[in-house]
Structure formats: C-alpha cells, structure tokens
Amino acid sequence: MQARTIARSVEFVGIGLHSGLPVRVRLEPGADGSGIRFYRKDRNCYIDLHPHSVVDTTMATVLGNGEVRVSTIEHLMSAIYSYGIDDLLIILDGEEIPIMDGSAAPFCMLLEEAGIREQRRPKRLLKVTKEVRVQEGDKFVQLRPSDEMIFEATIDFDHPAIGREHYRFNFTKSAFLKEIAKARTFGFLKEVQYLRSLGLARGGSLENAIVLDDYGILNPEGLRYPDEFVRHKILDAIGDLSLLGMPIMGEYRSFAGGHKLNHQLTLALIEEGAWEVIELTRESGQEQRAIAYAFTTG
C-alpha cells in the first residue's frame, strides 16, 4: 500500500468557532514525503503537524511556530486521518480552521471532491508496542497494543440530555463516515459569557454546535445520533492523535478525555518509546491487510 495525498486542490471559506472571524482555506496535494503542513499565507509561516508543535489545548488543539498559530485543527485532521492522507499542504489566511457545521462531515465532502492520489513511497504505520496511560484525577486516556484500530470513549456529564455515554468504534473509513463524522461539537449556554471573556466561542451558534441550557438541547433539529456527544469525543481524539503523523495500529480508550490529555498521551507515547514504525510492503502481513482494509473500504 502506498502513501496518499489528494488528487487536486480544493478551497473553502468559513468562520472560526472561537475567533468568529472569516478564514479562507485551500488544501493542496503534498509532495511525496512532505507530511502534513500548515501554511499561514498572511504571515508567510509554515507549521508542521507534530505533537511538539502544540502550544495550547484550551477548548481546541492549537499549533504554533513562534508567534504564529493555527487553531481548532482537530475536526479537519480527523477527516484527513480517515481518508488515509499522508502528504498535504493546508494554506489559510487566518489563525483558525473554520468550524463549518461543528463536525468533520463537511471536510469529508471536500476530500471526496479532491480525490485521492497515491504517492511513490510505501505507506507507514505507527504500531503501539506497550500500554501508555495519562491520568488526571478520574479522567484518563490510554493507548495499548492491538491488531486492530479501535477508539473507545466514555463520558459522564451531570446533565439530563447527556448523562453517561459510551461508544466503541472499530476504525475504517466507511465506519467513520457513517458513525462518527457527523457528530458535532457541543457547549453549555451558561458558559458562553465566560468563554467569550477569554476570547473563545465568539463564532459559536446553533448552526455549528449543539448548545445546551440547564434542561436540554436548544437546537430545534435535535441530535444526529442518540449518543452524539461521546461520538464527537472520538472524532476529536482521532484528530488529536493524527499529530503522530501516520495511522495508528492500537487501541485508544478514554474516560472524560479531551484535547489536553490526548496531547499528553501523544508525548508520552513518543517519550516512552512505546511504538515502532512499520513500512507497509507486500511482506508486512497482518498490518498491511488491516490498514488497506481500513482506508480503502467505503
């Protein structure tokens, strides 16, 4: 199986969830071996997709290079991961990736429009070789060895519309599109004023997020999945773990996880050497078959 990029450029415009400002983004095919990079056109600055590029995880995953930042990358990166894309240039004229409808589905539609092109080099896989766990109170995230690509999450909110939700997801592209991609970000009305005082959630609305008051959901159309909240947590986790730069063969589990713990998990995985890179050639056996199935079905 070969590494992948997109076949043609695509462009979109939207507003940032936290900044409330309009941003234009163009996805361009990446050179073979270039990896995934962001380019702030307005600041003439490149930022690499890597755990060490993360500079903030407050309500979103934010990358930086000096004073230049790219924020709220997780929904776009979740879609990019689901299409098995290894090389890509993401050009934007502002700081924040547009929120679109609050899910990964619009980005998946753009990638369908762009198409997929195979590169010359073999695809690489990051295989988890031992368990790594990050914990903060009763919250935790972990990665452990598996012959499959699994994402499992549990959340527990003291709110009548959420409560305790659990979801286990065996990753393939087709399953992602059906079970995860449409799950939207969510927030609480009582926190909006505070978040806006911090310069966050300025672009949030019922068109790009699930909004909850003390009693229920304010969105007139309701939920897209009965357990949309925990599915969105998995969507975020896939986007956050994409910073490792290649597909992950292993099992991710979390309880009340979020961007901060996911970032700490990627750093712990690297620092503890709990991984190995496998180049997927015809001789790669089970890993080759599993990754080929994950990204070429659906």
DSSP bridge partners of 15: 22
Q: What are the backbone angles phi and psi of residue 35, rounded to the nearest 5°?
A: 75, -165
Q: For residue 127, which of 295, 297, 298, 286 has the smallest C-alpha distance? A: 286
Could you tell me the two tokens for 195? 């978040």
| 226: CB partners within 8 A, 6+ apart | none
Q: Where are the alpha helices (DSSP H) in 182-258?
A: 189-197, 228-241
166 carries an active-site annotation = no
Tell me the C-alpha distance between 155 and 291, whole Å. Answer: 28
User: Of 18, 75, 232, 259, which is the active-site residue?
Assistant: 259
Question: Distance (Å, rounded) from C-alpha 259 to C-alpha 166?
Answer: 18
| Integer Cα distance of 235 and 59 in angstroms | 14
Q: Report the catalytic residues.
A: 259
